[in-house]
Amino acid sequence: MGHRRQSAPRHGSLAYLPRKRARYGKGRVRHWLPYNDKEVRFQGFAGFKAGMTHVAYIEDQEHSPFFGKELVKAVTVLETPPLVLFGVKVYHRDEYGLNAIGELYAKELKPELGRKIQIPNPETYNFEEKLKDLESKIQDHDEIRGLFHTQPWKSSVPRIKPDILEINVTGGNGSAKAQFNFVLERLGQEIRVRDVIEEGTLIDTIGVSKGKGFQGAVKKFGIKLMSRKNRKGKRRVGCIGPWKPPKLLYTIARSGQMGYHQRVEYNKRILKISEDSDEINPKGGFIRYGLVKSDYLIILGSVPGPKKRLIRLRDCMRPRENFKVSAPEITYISKLSQQGK
């Protein structure tokens, strides 16, 4: 009696390849959508995932069938303490891709940054000379990016070492000089989430999903169990392909790493940006996170990753047409205890 063929995985998991552990736990932004507007601005931010709750709000999108009605939706809370702009980096694009041509650090840096990188000696670091040298190298259509570091000690994340992020600068009618001067004016300052993101807008969330370790084909791909009379095991694939050609197709469900993959979710709506943590903290705090202490975002729907993980926010790569950017009216935010008490 031959082996029974298994059906294809029912989870649609083959859309993400390779299915291996992410290199960076903070997520990675591979692309930025340029806007050649007059206004110069940063194109992203970052925050720590605190947890989920639910809200009631009035739908304000006219194309929605629920326009004008009150909806109850699940939301994610991201705590977004201010990011510190500690440097600027300039990239030049040629036929081989992006090449960094120089970077400049602020005159004064926070001592916590020394836990992540080697801070230049302020006595020997010549800021004016570095600035003059970098300005002479900037050409039109160069990419300008701000160097930021997080401040987890201002949130409920139990660590001191910051994360370092590169955030693209856009605007200035595409002028690299205007974008560089924009960053230079804010060098060494704290940038808050309201300075970058507007309430009611759409953003992309980039994070690393929950890690589940090495798992078998049944849990990883959802294949059916073999019959009880199978002599070589039940939680396995019945047929992994023909003898010829002697190769294994990538579509065959096999054991391997599950979770801790980078994922990007497009067009997530920002319902609320606030500094008043009393409006969002549930009784007893968020489980496995604690109380929100600083600025925070309320994002409609879920976000990849466990609590306390850094989530990157970015301008939409797939902007929606006929979307009205406005802060919806929130009528209720659940603050019930999440501890079952």
pLDDT digits (tens, 9 = 90+) for 40-84: 999 999 999 999 999 999 999 999 999 999 999 999 999 999 999
Write down the pLDDT at residue 252.
92
Q: Are 310 and 42 in contact (CB under 8 A)?
A: no
pLDDT at 216 over 90: yes
- How far is Cα of residue 245 from the mean position of the Cα atoms in its chain? 42
pLDDT value of position 140:
87
Please say whether the beta carbons of 27 and 310 come within 8 A. yes
Residue 266 and residue 283: Cα distance in Å, rounded?
A: 31
Q: Per-residue pLDDT for 13 more than 70?
A: no
Percent of the chain whose pLDDT exceeds 70: 95
User: Structural domains in the chain?
Assistant: 81-191 (3.30.1430.10)
- What predicted TM-score, i.e. pTM, was given to this entire model? 0.91
Q: What average pLDDT is seen over the chain?
A: 92
pLDDT > 70? residue 5: no
92's CB contacts (< 8 A; 6+ apart) are 98, 99, 101, 139, 142, 143
Give pLDDT tens digits for 271-298.
999 999 999 999 999 999 999 999 999 9
pLDDT tens by residue, 150-198: 999 999 999 999 999 999 999 998 899 999 999 999 999 999 999 999 9
